Chain A
Amino acid sequence: MTAPLPEAPLLEARGLAKTYLTPRTAFRPPGRVAAVAGVDVTLEAGASLGLVGESGCGKSTLARLLLRLVPLSGGSIRFAGQDITDLSERAMRRLRRRMQLIHQNPSAALDPRLTVMSAVAEPLRIQGIARGRALHDRVAALLAEVGLPGDFLHRHPHELSGGQKQRVCIARALALEPQLVVLDEPTSALDVSVQAQILDFLGALRRQRGLSYLFISHNLAVVRQVCERVAVMYLGRIVEEGPAAEVLERPQHPYTRALLASVPRLGVAGVAAAAPGDPPNPADPPPGCAFHPRCLVAEPACRTTAPALNFARGEDHRVACHVAARRGLPEMTETT
């Protein structure tokens, strides 16, 4: 048993990149799409990091890179002090019990032909942890832990509700007693009333088991509830990173402000259009800062030079913005 050094982070990625080649067609040559372009991620054991951003900003790709589910185009990953960047598929399969993924849509993440019993037992069987009677008891205990009645064991996914299916997926992930759980928008496919239950449950679970979460979401309120730290992604890069309360109360990057402003609030008519336009085409990103075409405070430098992720407010809060780094943005006003 080689225990990792106590000070080593559970997960540490440097310069992660994923470039997809678009297929050659009759009309254009093959192009390159940088889904993730040089991202650093550090996750301490027992901590929870929220990853927010619009659809298509590379959040899910980043999650799959970190779990080595898609091949890397660049960068390195260390898990519990071990370099897993070039680990073979076979070696990764053994390591999988320590890192699990919860999918966005539980209806699609469960094999429709497997019963709840088989679905939850599958990881235990694969990793050779339990069999026979012990396997059955273990699965029953897991179902109880996620709050499902024991007679669900022999049901099929289509007989369960969305929230129940997500609980089955959570039981499946917990079966291997992982240290790291990546949650890819775990509640966005669920009814609003069920979302809160699942979020509370996930929070309690983390405290009880001392899990580390990488929590992907486009819902800032959800991230605030579950995560201690938050990283904001835009077009394959992290543009702001810091303690959740700090980033969400005093956002420094114009894009983070736009995200926060776009959350509808009681008492405010309509939604503030803080970031006009759509995200640019990742196959043809704008030069300089990728956000400058939509940015309200952009300067000439933003059109030519990409800003680095530098410290802004204090040691802990970093932002990739020329304007914010030099003079800071004015405090955000509550209503406009």
Chain B
Amino acid sequence: MADVLPVEAASAGVSGGRGRKWRLAAWLLGRSFSSRLGLALVVLVVGLALAGPWIVPYPDDVAGAVNLARKLQPPSAAHWFGTDEVGNDILTRVIVGARLSLLVGIGIMLAAAGIGVPLGILAGMSSGRLRETIMRLTDMFLSVPGLVLAIAIVAALGPGIGNAMVALVLVWWPGYVRLAEAKALSIREEPYIEAARVAGASRLRILWRHVLPNSLSPLIVKMSMDIGQAILAVASLGFIGLGAKPPTPEWGAMIAIARGYLPEWWWYALFPGLAIYLSVLGFNLLGDGLRDILDPRSHRG
């Protein structure tokens, strides 16, 4: 019995430790109503985006079929969200729009973080001219309002969803540089970085194994919130005619046309607007919830 015990204790320590961590994370996320709501909304948007083409009631309307016989019908059992000015089912187009918005939101966030985080950590770990160059360039971008700069860039590149994404990535990465640099600056003074040097670690190893993992929590929170913000920004560009072009089922572009049909045909603008609102809300609330989970103090408290 006695010589079996340590082995048991050791294996229990492994699974117990991991399981406890996940349970703790689930509890922390489920603890607040807003985190649960955020998670539910994100799951809903992601689910619709994945299943979109197979669950929509009128697949022909995705590409913009013309069916003037049933144009501008109010919400009904056949058309839950009503129909638009060429007779397309709005529910169908809102669901399919989720896929585009989500892809664009995630794509912009990943590209911006992919540019910004390495630059920020590099700036935070280095000193002198390299750091100055990176940070002053960042400041230059940050000093111009993002959406205004994006509009200027799209106007120069020409309207379109691809160019809108390029423009938004260009205005989005500096935020990640700032955050990653601030984090790296504080972490490089931590004694455990010196401890890694004492063990003989190279600069690259210290960056990759110690600075990056310890900088990740605030970055993940920002990423979650930025997906929502990017969805909103793409919709904004679509609304002013610089993003997706109208037959494409994009929420912002749909509202741009629906604006001319307000207030009498209110459902045309309302449902794409609600879709934007709820998905942005979802990612923001999820980001808040993740902040609670990833903050080490909430573990110890």
Residues of A at under 8 Å CB distance from B?
67, 69, 93-94, 96-97, 100-101, 103-105, 108-113, 122-123, 126-127, 149-155, 158, 169, 172-173, 176
Q: For residue B199, which residues in chain A have a CB less than 8 angstroms away from its CB?
A: 96, 122-123, 126-127, 172, 176
B277 interface residue (CB < 8 Å to A): no
Determine which of B10, B191, B299, B300 lies in contact with A153 in the assembled complex, contact meaning CB atoms within 8 Å.
B10
> Which of chain A's residues have a CB closer than 8 A to the CB of B195?
101, 103, 109-111, 169, 172
Q: How far is the CB of A64 from chain B (nearest CB, A)?
A: 8
Q: Is the CB of B198 within 8 A of A101?
A: yes
Chain A positions within 8 Å of B209 at CB level? 122
B10 in contact with A158 (CB, 8 Å):
no
Q: Check: B201 CB closer than 8 A to any chain A CB.
A: yes
Chain A residue contacts of B214, Cβ below 8 A: 111-113
In the assembled complex, the CB of B70 is this many whole angstroms from the nearest CB of chain A, namely 58
Q: Check B208 for interface membership: any CB of A closer than 8 A.
A: no
- Decide: B198 and A122 in contact? CB cutoff 8 A: no
Q: How far is the CA of A103 from the CA of B192 in the complex (A)?
A: 9
- In whole angstroms, what is the CA distance A100 to B205 when docked? 18
**Main SS at interface, chain B:** helix
CB of B196, distance to nearest CB on chain A (Å): 7
Smallest Cβ-Cβ distance to A103: which chain B residue:
B191
Interface residues in chain B, defined as those with a beta carbon under 8 Å from any beta carbon in chain A: 6, 9-10, 12-14, 17, 190-192, 194-202, 205, 209-210, 213-214, 296, 299-300
Q: Which chain B residue shows the least CB distance to A101?
A: B198
Q: A109-B195, A151-B9, A158-B299 are in contact. Are A96 and B213 (CB under 8 A)?
A: no
Q: How far is it, in angstroms, between the C-alpha of A112 and the C-alpha of B198 when the chains are bound?
A: 17
A96 near B198 with CB under 8 A, answer yes
6 contacts between A and B (CB under 8 A): A93-B201, A122-B199, A151-B6, A155-B13, A158-B296, A176-B199
Known A150-B6, A151-B10, A154-B13; contact A109-B200, beta-carbon cutoff 8 A: no
Question: What separation, in Å, do the CA atoms of A257 and B213 have in the docked complex?
Answer: 48
Return chain B residues, CB-CB under 8 Å to A109: 191-192, 194-195
Q: Report whether A110 and B192 are in contact in the complex, using a CB–CB cutoff of 8 Å.
A: yes
CB of B194 within 8 A of CB of A101, answer yes
Which B residues are CB-close (under 8 A) to A155? Answer: 13, 17
Q: For residue B264, give the distance in angstroms from its CB to the closest CB of chain A.
A: 58
Question: What residues of chain A lie closer than 8 Å to B198, measured between beta carbons?
Answer: 67, 69, 96, 100-101, 173
Name the distance in Å between A136's Cβ and chain B's nearest Cβ.
Answer: 11
- Inter-subunit contact A103/B13 (CB<8 Å): no
